[in-house]
Amino acid sequence: MSETDTVEDLRALVALSCRILAATGCVREITGHVSVRVPGTDRFLVRCRPPRDPGVQFTIADDIQLVGLESTNADLPDGYALPGEWAIHTELYRQRPDVGSVVHGHPEASLKCGILGLPMEPVIGAYDPGAMELAVRGVPTYPRAVLISDRQLGGEVVKAMESSDACLLRGHGVVAVGADLQQATVRAIKLETLAELTLSLHSVPGAQPQQLSQDDIAEVSGFVDSRNAGKTYAHWTWDFYRHTLGDAADVTKRI
């Protein structure tokens, strides 16, 4: 496959990710953006704002622009603009070579957990290994509620995340990353699943959610790892959400 074909395929996938994230409540209205690294290069495809932005739910492939780490709005065609928080993406790509895709969204349950300071603890196992993995690896919180509008702030988010796959931005939203676009998208969804469970458990008066034992964590993780299933499950889950979109999975036209 030529690089041109790869770029066009990724362009459609980023648009589809935007629609999946909107359908699952991980992005809302006109807020939230997704990017993916073009393999073997320092270029990226990112969801940009058209001159009149109808919302992330209505993203089309034409909204996804090919850019570099130093790109500005002047490099974009037809009045498009980079996300105002493009620095989230650029600083993760600069400092985390393991990151192939970045998702930023404003999901409600994750937002509430960040505001309340509720810890994302490993309280579920086989129910949802992807959500368990996030809790086990840790979900840190970036303590500021500002727009991540420059490299310094982007660097602060990366520092808060360290090697984690997700981060809460207190009073703001979330960041999720993955080796590829499907993994980053599904992690954002799993983070919201974990947040919803956390809120529900802490809403029960006097409840004391029980963390998994290390043996159970190791058993679930070992089962997944032995089959190299983590990435496979992410792709299968992505396919599930793609199918649930129905006609809205056609990113060649606004719905």
**Residues classed as catalytic:** 85
213 Cβ contact partners less than 8 Å away, ≥ 6 residues apart: none
Q: How many CA atoms lie within 13 A of 71 on its CB side?
A: 23
If you search the block for the tokens 């990112």, which residue do you land on? Answer: 46
Which region, left, alpha or beta, applies to residue 89 given φ > 0 means left and ψ of -120 to 50 means alpha?
alpha
- Hey, what's the torsion of the CAs at 81, 162, 202, 240, to 10 degrees? 60
Measured CA to CA, the distance from residue 22 to residue 114 in angstroms comes to 20
Question: Which of these, 98, 108, 164, lies nearest to 134 by C-alpha position?
Answer: 164
DSSP string, 115-144: HHT-------STT-HHHHHHHHH---EE--
Measured CA to CA, the distance from residue 151 to residue 242 in angstroms comes to 33
Q: Using an 8 Å Cβ cutoff, are 38 and 10 in contact?
A: yes
Kindly report the backbone phi and psi dihedral angles of residue 109, in degrees, each rounded to the nearest multiple of 5, phi listed first.
-65, -40
